[in-house]
Structure 1
Amino acid sequence: MKKLLFLLFMFSFSLVLGQIPKIEAVKINTFAVTADTFLGFDSFGFYYWIKNNVLIKTNSDATFEYKNVSLGKITAVDLQNPLKVVVFYENFNTIVIIDNQFNESQKINFSENSVPIVVSAMGIAAQNQFWIYNSLNQQIGLFDYLKKDYKTISTSFPESIKLYQSDFNTFYWIDKNNNWYACDLFGTITFKQKISNFDSIQFLNQTQLIYTKEGHLYFEDIQKKQKTTIEIPEKSFKKCYYKDQILAIFTSEGITNYKIILP
């Protein structure tokens, strides 16, 4: 009886999986990469990764490197503006801006700011500003890096940030209970939805995301209430990154690029 029930369960589970629509991924190319962390690529064809705490930017014609031993380990890198790459060193409460040649153009130590700030999450925002999550008051703020002016824009939220991402107009995060929120430039916080368990995730906009779970890759549109499987041959990969209909899959062998069209 138990065996029969198990078989019925597996059959039903297979039917559910079979009902999830699929996106075809068309392979473009593959190249070898030895990296600790793959970050992504920009619109100019450069790929970014971290190796031995050195930030590397490369394409077929040029390679640039940035390292700052005095600031310890790189915590995060924001690639939204390839002309102003932002490197975050959490242990030293510092953000460094580097140009497209990887020359250091500005360094901001928030421990020296007149308003107490301890940064635990950051990203580049519109109008010469950074998104800042200040762990001292558990609030989101905006820091004008030209005027060196900081303002708190959100109410505090007690649940710790599990994962975050931002674009110029929105700061996204998932808390430890897997709740997805978004905050705009005016400080308005919007609850998006509760996210199922995942291994990694990338927000594409306010309603769409790509995430990985147990070696599978999914695209989800919460507005359309639509979930889609992205079919790739790799069953074990470290990270995926999507931009401009190109999906990059990072494995221990290197990076494979696929062309995909999202619904």
Structure 2
Amino acid sequence: MRKLFYILFLFGFNCFSQQQVKASIKDSTYLKAKSIFGVDAFETLYYATKDNSFHKKTKDTTITYSNFQLGEITSANTFNSLKINLFYQNFNTVIILDNRLAEIYKIDFNRIQPYKNVSFVSTGFDNTLWVFNQDLQQLELFDYKTNKIRLKTVPVQSDVLDLKSDYNNCYMLTENFLYIYNYFGSLIAKHTNEGYESLAFSKAHLVLRKAERLYILQKNKLKIESIEHPNLLINQFLVTNETLYIYDDKTLRQYQLKIE
């Protein structure tokens, strides 16, 4: 009986260790964009063009927002379609749009006291934004209605590469570590950065990029695993639930993530 137990244990461990995450092609779309910021569960596409206009494209319509005074859009967070935020780093400013891309709020960090030199912005819960204060080297949860900091984390010791979030968690990738915080600002996980350069996130998975390869940290898992996918030029990548999007400057390819 004991021998049978060990055989079953080793067999189960071997099967678990051999699990692979594969990306299987589903569809592809021709698209000429400067930056792609998001694709939601209804396949609504959010992107910017070379004239720095921001576009929301559905199957039936495309609507556009432009703010030429602020120039280039550094990042856009479309997680909450009712409060889309556009970050213009050159002007240290965030514009918040509703689902019709009408401007509903403007946050000019140059005019807020104390002054903030912000390098990354992502969506928080309620009326908050996760912002990285470049001068203090710390992550802050900023309430843009009251202009107050609700919480701040311990300063980091290396340059920040990327920042993504939802209502529950915030993921900050630095040159040394990947930090995962909950909405209280508590550090709940920390992974050594093994050469990852950027990240994408949805409520199901976190995907990381290293050169032209992609890796995944599945929800409720501790180990970062490689994704088996075709060798492609990866200009940008996104993830929505179980769907991975890879953009190569003219084609947006859609893949189904499968665990085998």
> Do the two structures share a fold, i.e. TM-score over 0.5?
yes
* Structure 1 segments of 4+ aligned residues over 4 angstroms from their partners: 203-206
Is the contact made by 2:164 and 2:199 (CA closer than 8 Å) also made in structure 1? Answer: no
Greater Cα shift, 148-157 or 33-42: 148-157
Structure 2 distance, partners of 1:158, 1:54, is 35
Greater Cα shift, 156-165 or 119-128: 156-165
CA apart distance, 1:224 = 4.6
Equivalent in the alignment of 2:64: 65
Q: Answer yes or no: is 1:259 the counterpart of 2:256.
A: yes
Equivalent in the alignment of 1:249: 246
Is the contact made by 1:139 and 1:152 (CA closer than 8 Å) also made in structure 2? Answer: no
Q: Answer yes or no: is 1:96 the counterpart of 2:84.
A: no
CA apart distance, 1:46 = 0.8
Query: Which 5+ residue runs of structure 2 have no aligned equivalent?
Result: 1-16
Equivalent in the alignment of 1:235: 232
Is the contact made by 1:181 and 1:193 (CA closer than 8 Å) also made in structure 2? Answer: yes
- Describe the SS at the equivalent of 1:112: coil
Given the superposition, is the C-alpha separation of residues 114 and 140 from structure 1 closer, same or farther in structure 2, using an over 3 Å criterion? same
Is the contact made by 2:21 and 2:228 (CA closer than 8 Å) also made in structure 1? Answer: yes
Q: Answer yes or no: is 1:108 the counterpart of 2:128.
A: no
Query: Which 5+ residue runs of structure 1 have no aligned equivalent?
Result: 1-18
CA apart distance, 1:74 = 1.0
Structure 2 distance, partners of 1:241, 1:167, is 14
Is the contact made by 2:37 and 2:75 (CA closer than 8 Å) also made in structure 1? Answer: no
Structure 2 distance, partners of 1:158, 1:217, is 25
Given the superposition, is the C-alpha separation of residues 198 and 158 from structure 1 closer, same or farther in structure 2, using an over 3 Å criterion? closer
Structure 1 distance, partners of 2:107, 2:191, is 34
Sequence identity of aligned pairs in percent? 26
Equivalent in the alignment of 1:26: 24
Greater Cα shift, 135-144 or 100-109: 135-144
Is the contact made by 1:245 and 1:260 (CA closer than 8 Å) also made in structure 2? Answer: yes
With the length of structure 1 as denominator, give the TM-score of the two structures. Answer: 0.81
- Describe the SS at the equivalent of 2:100: coil
Equivalent in the alignment of 1:46: 44
Q: Answer yes or no: is 1:187 the counterpart of 2:157.
A: no
CA-to-partner distance for each residue in 1:193-244, whole Å, 9 max, x for gaps?
11211354324579x5323334333334594536243334x52232221112
Structure 1 distance, partners of 2:181, 2:208, is 21
Greater Cα shift, 23-32 or 44-53: 23-32
With the length of structure 2 as denominator, give the TM-score of the two structures. Answer: 0.81
Q: Count matched residues.
A: 242
- Describe the SS at the equivalent of 2:258: coil
